[in-house]
Amino acid sequence: MRILFVCLGNICRSPAAEGVFKHLVEESGLEKEITCDSAGTAGYHEGEGAYPKMKKIALKRGHDLTSISRPVRPKRDFEDFDLIIGMDDQNIADLTRMAPDANSRAKIRKMTDYCTRLRHRSVPDPYYGDSSDYELVIDILEDACAGLIEVLTTGRHL
Ligand code: 4NP
């Protein structure tokens, strides 16, 4: 199972989703079965690591963010990945527009749909926010990533 996490810039939310999810996958011993990557709907931070504030708060919570920003490559990504998971409704709209066909569109999900504890409807963009906004991103992602693992390992469909 190959998962691609997507946000706007690929320097805050989707690198954090990738880091939190990888951490959980490793803890669950599922590295052989589940792989992931992240990308942005916009390419203006291409080549950059995760935003330092995001990296710092994620690391404090036990998640090491190592990914380098890249834009979504629609043709390849919709072929290479089984699920393409956006962080907010704008990401979902952009991905839906980028998807080359109906099969590809059927792979699109929203991260918060996997939450089982928190009631947020999106992972809010923390870029212009303060530390509490970054903490909230990690709170939501920890909940959603645990839910995603649960769905993938129990074969429940979402
Ligand atoms: P992300 O956050 O989509 O979670 O990576 C953002 C990062 C950069 C910008 C916007 C959102 N920006 O406008 O540069």
Q: Is residue 158 predicted with pLDDT exceeding 70?
A: no
C-beta of 38 in contact with ligand 1 (< 6 A): no
- Return the CATH number of 2-154, one of 3.40.50.2300, 3.30.465.10, 3.90.1520.10, 3.40.50.150: 3.40.50.2300
pLDDT in tens, 104-155: 999 999 999 999 999 999 999 999 999 999 999 999 999 999 999 999 999 8
C-beta of 129 in contact with ligand 1 (< 6 A): no
* pLDDT score, position 157: 63
Contacts of residue 26, defined as CB under 8 A and 6 or more positions apart, other chains included, come to none
Numbers of helices and strands, H then E, in the chain = 6, 4
Going from N- to C-terminal start, the domains of the chain cover: 2-154
Q: Averaged over 59-87, what is the pLDDT? A: 98
